[in-house]
Structure 1
Amino acid sequence: MTKDVIEAILERRSIRRFKDEEVPAATVGRLLDAARWAPSAGNIQPWKIAVVYSKDKKQELAAAAFGQQFVAQAPVVFVVCALPEKSAARYGDRGRNLYAIQDTAAMVQNIMLAAAGYGLGTCWVGAFDEKAVSETLGLAFDHRPVAIIPIGYPGGEVKAPARSSVDDIVVLYE
Structure 2
Amino acid sequence: MWDFFETVRHRHSVRRYQSDVAVEPEKLHAILETACAAPSAGDLQAYRIAVVTGQAQREALRNAAGGQAFIAEAPACLVFSAVPSRSAREYGERGASLFAIQDATIAAAYAQLAVVAAGMASAWVGSFDEAAVRAVIGETEDVRPVALMSVGYPAELPEPTPRRPLKDVVTHIE
**Normalization by structure 2: what TM-score?**
0.96
Aligned residues: 173
Q: Which amino acid in structure 2 is aligned with residue 27 of structure 1?
A: K
What is residue 16 of structure 1 aligned with on the other side? 15
1:46-88: CA deviations, max 9, x gaps?
0111111110000000000010010000001110111001001
Stretches of structure 1 that go unaligned for 5 or more consecutive residues are none
Q: 4+ runs of 1 displaced by more than 2 Å?
A: none
Asked whether the equivalents of residues 3 and 118 of structure 1 are also in contact (C-alpha less than 8 Å), the reply is: no
| 1:127-155: CA deviation from partner (whole Å, max 9, x where unpaired) | 00000011122113322111111100011
The Cα of 1:107 is off from its aligned counterpart by 0.4
Q: RMSD value over aligned CA atoms?
A: 0.9
Partner in structure 1 of residue 107 of structure 2 = 107
User: Contact conserved, 1:85 with 1:142, CA < 8 A, in 2?
Assistant: yes
Task: Work out whether 1:5 is the aligned partner of 2:4.
Answer: yes
Q: Deviations over 1:91-135 (max 9, x none)?
A: 111101111111111101000000011111101100000000111
Q: Supply the distance in 2 between the matched residues of 1:5 and 1:157 (Cα, whole angstroms).
A: 19
8 Å CA contact retained: 1:65, 1:127: yes
Counterpart secondary structure, 1:134: helix
TM-score normalised over the length of structure 1:
0.96
CA distance in 2, matches of 1:55, 1:25: 17
Paired with 1:138 and 1:104, the residues of 2 have a C-alpha distance of 17
Alignment of 1:1-174 (within 5 A): 2-20=1-19, 21-174=21-174
Contact kept? 1:82, 1:143, Cα under 8 Å:
yes
Q: Distance in 2 between matches of 1:87 and 1:140?
A: 17
d(CA) in 1 for partners of 2:93, 2:150:
31
Gap runs ≥5 in structure 2: none
The alignment partner of 1:123 has SS state of: strand
Which amino acid letter does the alignment assign opposite residue 18 of structure 2? K
Give % identity.
38
